Structure 1
Amino acid sequence: MRTILRPTTHDHPLRAGALLPARELAVAWAMVLVIAATAWVLTVGQALDMDVEPGTMGMALPLFLVLWLAMTAAMMLPSVAPVAVTWARGIARRSSGAVRALRSTEFIAGYLVAWTVVGLLAYGGLTLTGDLVDRDPDAGRWIGAAAFALAGLYQLGPLKNICLRHCRSPMAQLVHYASYRPRMRDLRVGLHHGAYCVGCCWALMVVLIPLGVMNIVAMAGLAALIFLEKLWYRGPRLARVAGVAFLVLAVLAPFQDWLLPGLQPSMTPM
């Protein structure tokens, strides 16, 4: 006689999470959005005290990384909230409220670690471009054109599509990670999803070189674009439209200084 094993809600954390009460689900959403809102407040407050200038604006690496993480959290977490909440639903039945919050925080920490690595590369790139503009102000025109062109070409390329597809439909990978041993699993899930998010959005962050790293309007526009790419049903088409728009800006950049506020030489008083 054949024995049929019927899975229970405890067999798989993501299935178990389907029973997460609405109140707990609201708490998970609120936690992610509060972190994002706090990051926006910190980022805007700092940006108001700084001018849009080439390079790292005189910041040392530790301060730059702090501001980079705040900016990243502000721009990325709203679009990551559905994935974080999905994972929180998956761990809900096996954890108390406090443990659930801790594990969700661990997921977000892993996500931000991936973007911290990008921040280190960004600091090096900004240092280089800042030095080039200081030596030759006209170099900013071609740096800006190259940044827009890189973003445009990547938006239209296959790797962008692969990473965007994962960010829009991450369930298969979350199920895969649910089978891993619990030790540091939430951190690894956040890191893994963060790596795909980097693959999806790093070229958009490159656009901040010509537009200005602390340009609030540019940050808000890119954050909206990232949000719509990941969550709107026409997100992939919007990504391609943005790619074409960046290529147009690449052609215009050498002749239109207003497109390059982040590459204008700083004017030192005499």
Structure 2
Amino acid sequence: MPHLRLAPPAPTRPGVLLPARDLAIAWFLMVLLAALAWVLTVGQSRHMGMEPGTMGLALPLFLLLWVVMMAAMMLPSVAPVAITWVRGINRRSAGPARALRIAEFVSGYLLAWTAFGLLAYGALAVTGHLVDRDPAAGRWIGAAVFLLAAAQQFGPLKRVCLRHCRNPMFQLLQYSRFRPWAKDLRVGVHHGLYCVGCCWGLMIVLIPLGVMNVAAMAALAAVIFLEKLWRQGPWLTWAVGLAFLVLAVLAPFQDWLLPGLDTSGPPMGQMTGWTG
């Protein structure tokens, strides 16, 4: 009788449920989706200025643009958890039910970031109003935002949420205990809220740097990716916090650090492709 030879399991890293090969594929797919979102974001930024405030956008249009931006910046870093959860859906569902469950998970994740987008819109509206009244206020607004971002990098909420995001195994075990009703939607919202808790301090620096500042978005996306997936991510968190402290000190004296609070540029309505 022939002997059966079992292949050894594919190697995995601690805290990661996907084999290395599948994890690489997952990251590739998520990066591909993120790249499409980047194309849309960069294309839109070419037709928009970096004036303070909401750039003249109505709330629905701002939220649509915000969700695309979040997809571009966040998808690569959530690949391990998201793809592993979707694989679980694929094993338990088929056809329309599978598509619906995946859509619920993705919708839940983006819903969390949409909720944060509402807060971002309000913050931009307030800061834009203040800078319109007194352009010099932009220096102190920028300093305050950088200081708040630094405080978040060093704070307990950042540690808790980052630890959650860096441990996919713990997350997935926790999600398996969720009740069946709208489970995938709630998993998406739950994971999205942890991402918001981990990254909101990084996102608010787009107020002084410019919401449509593609270079700033790319740098922040790289920081988010490394914080969550790099072995030295927690040390990077502290380094970025120190950098924000330096920017907070320099902001009142260096206007070039605050392109998103500069009122000297042309209004967005005068940019190509946007009319009042």
**Per the shorter chain, which TM-score range?**
0.7 to 0.9
Give the corresponding residue for 1:263. Answer: 261
Q: 5+ residue gaps in structure 1?
A: 1-17
CA contact (8 A) 1:20 1:92 kept: no
More helix by share: 1
Structure 2 CA distance for partners of 1:150 and 1:19, relative to 1, 3 Å: closer
SS in 1 for 2:217: helix
Task: Classify 1:267/1:76 alpha carbon distance in 2 versus 1 (closer, same or farther; 3 Å).
Answer: closer
Q: Deviations over 1:80-138 (max 9, x none)?
A: 11110121232332123664444233212111100101100111110110011011010
What letter corresponds to residue 212 of structure 1 in structure 2? G
Give me the whole-angstrom Cα distance separating, in 2, the residues matched to 1:83 and 1:38: 20
Tell me the equivalent position of 1:129: 127
Instruction: Tell me the residue number matched to 2:152.
Output: 154
TM-score, normalised to structure 1, is: 0.86
Match of 1:90 in 2: 88
CA distance in 1, matches of 2:23, 2:255: 47
1:22-54 per-residue CA deviation (whole Å, 9 max, x = no partner) reads 998787555533332221111110001111110
Counterpart for residue 119 of structure 1: 117
- Which deviates more from structure 2 when the two are superposed, residues 201-210 or residues 24-33? 24-33
Q: Is the 8 A contact 1:110 1:190 kept in 2?
A: yes
CA gap 1:161/1:213 in 2 versus in 1, 3 angstroms: same
2:180 matched to which residue of 1? Answer: 182
Work out the CA distance in 2 between the residues paired with 1:155 and 1:177: 26
How far apart in 2 are the matches of 1:19 and 1:78? 16
Stretches of structure 2 lacking an aligned partner (at least 5 in a row): 1-15, 268-276
- Partner residue of 2:12? none
User: Paired residue for 1:61?
Assistant: 59
> What amino acid sits opposite 1:185 in the alignment?
K
| Whole-Å separation in 1 of the counterparts to 2:24 and 2:251 | 45
How much has 1:170 moved relative to structure 2? Answer: 3.1
Deviation, structure 1 residue 184: 1.3
Task: State whether residues 50 and 259 of structure 2, in contact with CA within 8 Å, keep that contact through their aligned partners in structure 1.
Answer: yes
- Residue number in structure 2 paired with 1:8: none
Overall identity of the aligned pairs, in %: 70
Look up the match of 1:10. Answer: none
Q: Is the 8 A contact 2:80 2:168 kept in 1?
A: no
* CA–CA separation in structure 1 for the residues paired with 2:208 and 2:254: 12
Q: 1:173 deviation in Å? A: 2.9
Report runs of 4+ in structure 1 exceeding 6 Å deviation. Answer: 18-27
> Is 1:228 matched with 2:226?
yes
**Residues 105, 25 of structure 1: CA spacing in aligned structure 2 closer, same or farther, 3 A cutoff?**
farther
Structure-2-length-normalised TM-score: 0.84
Distance 1:108 1:167 in 2: 16
2: distance between equivalents of 1:41 and 1:267? 24
Match 2:39 to one of 38, 41, 44: 41
Q: What's the C-alpha RMSD, in Å, of the aligned pairs?
A: 2.4
Q: Tell me which residue corresponds to 2:4.
A: none
Contact 1:84 1:104 in 2 (8 A): no
Give the paired residue count: 252
